Chain A
Amino acid sequence: MGQGEAPMDAPSVAQELNGAGLRGVKLSCRNVWKLFGANADRKFDAADLTNLTAAELGARGQMAAVRDVTIDVREGEIFVLMGLSGSGKSTLLRCLSRLIEPSAGAVMFEGQNLLDANPAQLIDIRRHKMGMVFQHFALLPHLTVIDNVAFPLSLQKVGKSERQRRAREVLELVGLKGKELSFPRQLSGGQQQRVGIARSLAANPELWFLDEPFSALDPLIRREMQAELQRLQSVLKKTIVFVTHDFDEAIRLADRIAIMKDGAVVQLGTPEDLVLNPATDYVAEFTGDVDRAKVVSAARIMRPRSGGAVAGEVNARDKIVDIAPRVIGAGQAFVVRDGSRVVGEITPQSVLDILLERGTRR
C-alpha cells in the first residue's frame, strides 16, 4: 500500500495542526552518504553513488552505512531516527553533527553548509549551538557531577562562579539537586543519564542530539526518563534529533519519525502516518503491534462537516483512545474543533473502526 492513499484530506490538516508547516527548518541534510571500507575518507559525488547497489559497493570493498538520506528537521520538533541495530542511525547522527565526514551530500544547519565550516567555526557552533546525549552516558569519571555538567562551559572559559551557578541550575532542572558533589560511579544508571542530559543543556544549545539515551536503562526507569524528556521539552522547546531502536519510544516522543533500514530512510512521517499507512512490509512489522487508538488523533479520521446533528465537541489533537467512550457512548457524531475553528466531525463508526483495527490496516 502506498504512502499517498490516506483517506480524505486529513493528513494535510493534521500536519498543519502539528504546526510543522509553519516552522522554519533548523537542520537538514541532502543526499547524504557515508561509506565505510576502502577509500572511506574520500569525498564522492552523490550522483555517482545513487545507482550503485549494496552488492556493487561490496565489490569495491565498501559498505554504505548511510545511503542517500535527505531529511529536514524543523525548529522545535522532536525528530526521531528509528531502526534496528546496525541500520545506520548513529552514523547518520554523526554525519549530522559532523562527528564524521559524510562521503557525499550536504548538511545544512541554519542555512549554512556545516561541511564547509572550518575547524574553528565548527568548535564554535558545537560549543554554543549543539548538545549531545550518549547511550552510555560518556561522563568523565574523574569529575564530580557538578564539574561534569560545568565542563562544556569551562572549555569556553566561562568564569568559575558563573559556570557553577549555571550547572546548579540545570542540575535542578533534571532533578539532581543534592547530588552535585557525587562522582558518576556513585549514581544509578538513570541518574547518570540525567547528568548527561544536564551537561548537554549547560551551554543552552538550540539543537539537541540524543543517541539512544535511554536504551541502557531498565524499562521502568526508561518510561520515567521519557516522561522527563517530554516535560523538559515542553519547557525548553529545543530542536531535537532523537535516535532509538524502540518503536514504542519513537511513537511516544516523536513529532515525526524517519524509519531507517540498511542505511536508507524507508519512510518519514508522523507517528499517525506510519501507523495508518506503513509504506513497506518492513515498516508494517513495527507498526503492527501498536495500539492505534493511542496514536491516531481526531483530526486524522474526521470528515467534513455534514451539517447533521452532533452530540458534542472534541479537540482535533485528542487521541481516539481518550474520546472513544464519549463518542461511542453518545452514538452520534461529534464536532472537531481546532482552537476556535470547527474543522470537521467524527462519527462513532470511524472511532470503532480504529478501536477494532479495521479498514485502514494494510
Chain B
Amino acid sequence: MSTDAATAPLERRSPWPLIWLGFLVAVVAIWLLRDPLIWLVKYPDKLEINLAKWIGIAAKWLVAHIQFLTRGLAAVLDMPLDTAIAVLAKGILAPNDAVIVPRVSWLGVIGAMTLTGYAYGGLRTAATVFLCFTYIAFFGQWNGAMLTLASVIVCVPIAVALGLGFGILAFRHPRLATWVVQPSLDLMQTMPSFAYLVPVLLLFGSGPVPALVATVIFASPPMVRATVLALRSVPEEVMDFGKMAGCSPQQKTWRIMIPSSRALLMVGVNQVIMMTLNMVIIASMIGAGGLGYDVLLALRQGDIGRGAVAGLAIVAIAISLDRISQAAAEHQARPFKSGDTFAHRHPYLIAGIGWLAVTTLISLFVPEFSDVPKSLTLTLGDSLNEIVKWININFFDLIEAIRTWLLLNVMNPVKQGLLMAPWIAILGGLVLAGYQLGGRRLALLVALLVAFILIAGQWEKAMISVYLCAISAVIAALIGIPIGAWASRSDWGNRVATIAVDTLQTLPTFVYLIPVVMLFRVGDVTAMIAIVSFAVTPAIRYTAHGLRNVSPQVVEAARAMGSTPRQILWRVQVPLALPEIMLGINQVILLSLSMLVITALVGTRDLGQEVYIALTKADPGRGIVAGLCVAFLGIVLDRLAAAGAKRARERLGLLDINAQH
C-alpha cells in the first residue's frame, strides 16, 4: 500500500494544481473531438453486461433450492407475530368472528405505556408518551397503530439479538470484522431500503412475515456496530479482572462485557427501534399492514390529508419509543433490599400489568373500553385536505412560479450538464480525486465501483441520481451550515437547534414526502425539497458541534488580539471547525442518497425509480443491480469526503475526532 500522495510533506510545492489543469485540458480536448471519440463520451452499449439477467437467473435458482428453508423460517416467525397481533390488535376470534379472547384495551395500553415512560424517564417522558398515544387513539389510528406496534415488538428483539450476535462475533474475530463484517455493514447501510425488499419478496413472497424479515435485515446493522463499539469500550482492567476472577469465555461475555457496556448497547437498541419505524411504510409495500399501509394507500389514492394523519401516528409511536428507550439507556437501577418481595422490586411492572388486565377485563362488558368510541374520535384528514386545497387555490401561481424557476434555472441545467458530460471525464475526475485524497487504494476502489455502474448499463440513471443528490446536498449544506453557525453562538440557540434536529431525526423518511407532495405535486422539485428537508440535519448538527468545540483558548487569544466577532468566526472558528463540517456534509450526502430512493415514489427517473419498478415487477436482478449502484455511489462519495476531512484534520493538527473515518 502506498499513500505517498496523501502524506507528502506539505512544504513541497504540490503538483496537484498542474495535474488538475492537465486533466481539464484533456476533458476539453475530448469534448472538442467528440464526434470521432464518441465512445469516450457516451459509454458504448457493446461493453455493457446484462448483469440484471444473470443475477435474476441465479436468484431464481437459489429460490428454487432454498425455499424449504425460507418457508420454515417464515413459519417460525409467523408465531410470535400472530401472537403479538392477537394481543394488541385483533384478539383471538372463533371461526364465526366471535371474540374468544379480547385484545388488550386501548385504555390499558395508553396507561401501561405512560407508566413505562414514567418508570424510566419520569414525568416528562410520561407526558410525552401519554400525548402521543392519546393522539393515536383520538384521531382514529388505533387499529393501524397496534398492528404496527405488534410488528415492532417482534422485530426489535430479533434485530437486537442478531446484531448482538454478529457484533460479538466481529469483536472476537478482528480479522473477520475487517474483511467481512465491516464491508457488509457499509454496503448494507448505503444500500437503499427498497433494495432489500426485492430478494425478500422473491424468497418469502409477500405478507406480514416477509415485511418483518426485510425490516429485521434493515434494522440490525446499527446494532452490530453499536455492539462492537460497546464491547471495545470495556476498559482493559475490567477485562483483566474477568480473567483473574476465573471467568470462562462465556461468562466473560455475558456477565462482564455485555452488562458493563449496557449504556452503549442501549444506544444501539434505540437505533434499531428508529430504523424499524423508518421501515414501516416501505415494508408495507410487500404486505405489512398497519399505519404504513394506511399511509401508502392514502398516498396512492391522492388523499393526502389521511396519509398525513396516519404518518403523524407513526411519528407519535417513533417519538414515544425513542424517548422511552433513551430514558432506559440512562436509567440506573435502584438497589434492592434483601427482604424485598417481587412486588417491592418491580412496582411499575406490577401496576402496568394490573392496569392492562383490569381494563381488558372491563372491555368484555363495556365496549367503550375495547374500541375507541366513534363519538370521541376526531377527523383531521379532511380539514388538512381543505387547507391544502385552499393554499393551492390561493398560492398556485406563486408555488408554480417557484417550481418552474427552480426547474429551468437550477435543476435542468445541472441535469443536462451531467448527462452530456463524457463518462470518461467523470470517471477520471473521481479516480484522480481519490488518488489525491487517499492514495492508490482509494483510487482503485473508486475506479472499480464507478466501472461497475458503467458496465451494468446504469450510467444515465446514475447521473440523474447524482444530479438530484448533488443539488439537494448543496442546498442542504447552504441552509444547514448557517443555521448550525447561528445555533453555536448561544446556549439558547444550541438548545433550540438540538431539540429541532432530534425531532427531525425521529421522523421516518417517508413522512417528509407528505407535506411536499401536498404543495408541489410530484416531480423533481418535490423530490429535491423532500431530500433537502431530510438531509439538512447533519449539516446543522456537525456545524454547531464543530464551532462550539473550537478550543476556547484559541478564541480568547483571537479576541485578545482585537478581532471582531465576525473575524473570529471566519478567520478562526470556521477554519478550525472545517473538518467536522466536512464530516457533516458527508452525512448530508449519504442521507440524500437514502432519501433519493424513497422519492422514486414521486416520479423521478433515476436509480431509485429503477429499484421501485423492479419491486413492482418482482424482478430481483434489476432491483439488486440498481440497489448496488446506489450503494456504490454512496460508498464512493462517502470515502472521498471522509478522506478529504481526514486530510484537512491532519493539516490543522487536530485530533482524530472520529476514529472510524
B332, A138: Cβ atoms closer than 8 Å: no
Q: Which residue of A lies closest to B335 (CB)?
A: A181
Question: A127-B246, A142-B262, A156-B246 known; A99 and B240 CB under 8 Å?
Answer: yes
Q: Which A residues are in CB contact (< 8 Å) with B176?
A: none
Complex contact B246–A131 (CB within 8 A): no
Is B241 positioned at the interface, with any CB of A under 8 Å from its CB?
Answer: yes
User: Whole-angstrom distance from the CB of A16 to the nearest CB of chain B?
Assistant: 34
A58 to B38, CA, bound (A): 58
Q: How far is the CB of B502 from chain A (nearest CB, A)?
A: 26
When the two chains form their complex, are residues B243 and A136 in contact, meaning their CB atoms are under 8 A apart?
A: no
B425 at the interface (CB under 8 A from A): no
Q: What is the bound-complex CA distance between A130 and B246, given in angstroms?
A: 9
Cβ-Cβ contact count across A and B, 8 Å cutoff: 63
- Assess whether B259 is in contact with A144, with CB atoms less than 8 Å apart: no
B337, CB-defined interface residue at 8 Å: yes
**Is B248 an interface residue, CB under 8 A from the partner?**
yes
Closest-CB distance, A70 to chain B (whole angstroms): 23
Among A97, A135, A138, A141, max chain B CB count under 10 A is at: A138
> Given A99-B243, A132-B240, A155-B245: A142 and B337 within 8 A (CB)?
no
Q: Is A79 an interface residue (CB 8 A)?
A: no
A:156-171 near B, CB below 8 Å:
156, 164
Complex CA gap A97/B244 in Å reads 8
Residue of A nearest to B333 (CB): A142
Determine whether B247 belongs to the interface, using a CB cutoff of 8 Å to chain A.
Answer: yes
Query: Looking at the complex, which one of B255, B260, B332 makes contact with A155 (CB distance below 8 Å)?
Result: B255
Find out whether the CB atom of B332 lies under 8 angstroms from the CB atom of A183: yes
| Residues of chain B with a CB closer than 8 A to A181's CB | 335-337
CA distance A181 to B336 in the complex (A): 7
Q: Does B256 contact A (CB under 8 A)?
A: yes
A114 smallest CB distance to B (angstroms)? 13
B227-247: contact bitstring with A at CB < 8 Å (1 yes, 0 no)?
000000001011011011111
A140 near B259: Cβ-Cβ < 8 Å: yes
Q: How far is the CA of A132 from the CA of B239 in the complex (A)?
A: 12
Cβ A135 vs Cβ B237 within 8 A: yes
Partner of A138, one of B240, B246, B335, B338: B240
Interface: A126 (CB within 8 A): yes
Q: In this complex, which of A124, A132, A156 has the most chain B Cβ atoms within 10 angstroms of its Cβ?
A: A132
Tell me the minimal C-beta distance from A210 to chain B in angstroms.
12
The answer to whether A138 touches B235, judged by C-beta atoms less than 8 angstroms apart, is yes
Taken together as a complex, chains A and B put the C-alpha atoms of A337 and B256 apart, in Å, by: 54
- Is residue B251 contacting chain A, with contact meaning CB distance below 8 A? yes
A138 to B234, CA, bound (A): 10
- Contact check, A138 vs B259: say whether CB atoms are below 8 A apart: no
| A164 and B243 alpha carbons, distance in the complex (Å) | 22
A247 part of interface (Cβ distance < 8 Å): no
Known contacts A140-B256, A181-B337: A152-B240 contact under CB 8 Å: no
Nearest chain A residue, comparing its CB with the CB of B236: A138
A143 to B240, CA, bound (A): 17
In the bound complex, how far is the Cα of B48 from the Cα of A341, in angstroms? Answer: 102
Q: Which residues of chain A come closer than 8 Å to B241, judged between CB atoms?
A: 132, 134, 138
CB contact under 8 A between A131 and B335, given known A142-B260, A155-B251: no
Q: How far is the CA of A94 from the CA of B243 in the complex (A)?
A: 11
Q: How far is the CA of A330 from the CA of B247 in the complex (A)?
A: 62
Bound state CA distance, A134 and B245, in angstroms?
12
Cα-based distance from A151 to B332 in the complex (angstroms): 19
B246 touches A152 (CB 8 A): yes
Q: How far is the CA of A127 from the CA of B335 in the complex (A)?
A: 27
Could you mark each residue 35-52 of chain B with 1 if its beta carbon is under 8 Å from any beta carbon of chain A, else 0?
000000000000000000
1/0 per residue, CB under 8 A from A, across B586-630: the answer is 000000000000000000000000000000000000000000000
Residue of B nearest to A147 (CB): B335
A127 touches B245 (CB 8 A): yes
Contact of A123 with B by CB under 8 A: yes
Cβ of A349 within 8 Å of any chain B Cβ, yes or no, is no
A126 and B237 contact, CB distance less than 8 A: no
Which residue, A130, A152, A164, has most C-beta atoms of chain B within 10 A? A152
State how many angstroms separate the Cβ of B172 from the closest Cβ of chain A: 15
Tell which of B235, B244, B247 has the most Cβ of chain A within 10 Å: B244
Q: List 6 A-B contacts (CB under 8 A).
A: A126-B245, A127-B245, A134-B241, A143-B259, A152-B245, A155-B251
Closest 4 CB pairs of A and B: A127-B246, A138-B237, A181-B335, A132-B244
Tell me the B residues contacting A by CB distance below 8 Å.
Answer: 235, 237-238, 240-241, 243-248, 251, 255-256, 259-260, 262, 332-333, 335-338
Interface residues, chain A, CB within 8 Å of chain B? Answer: 94, 97, 99, 123-124, 126-128, 130-132, 134-138, 140-144, 151-152, 155-156, 164, 181-183, 185, 209
7 more A-B residue pairs beyond the given contacts A123-B247, A134-B237, A185-B332, with a C-beta to C-beta distance below 8 A? A127-B245, A132-B241, A135-B237, A138-B241, A141-B260, A164-B338, A182-B335
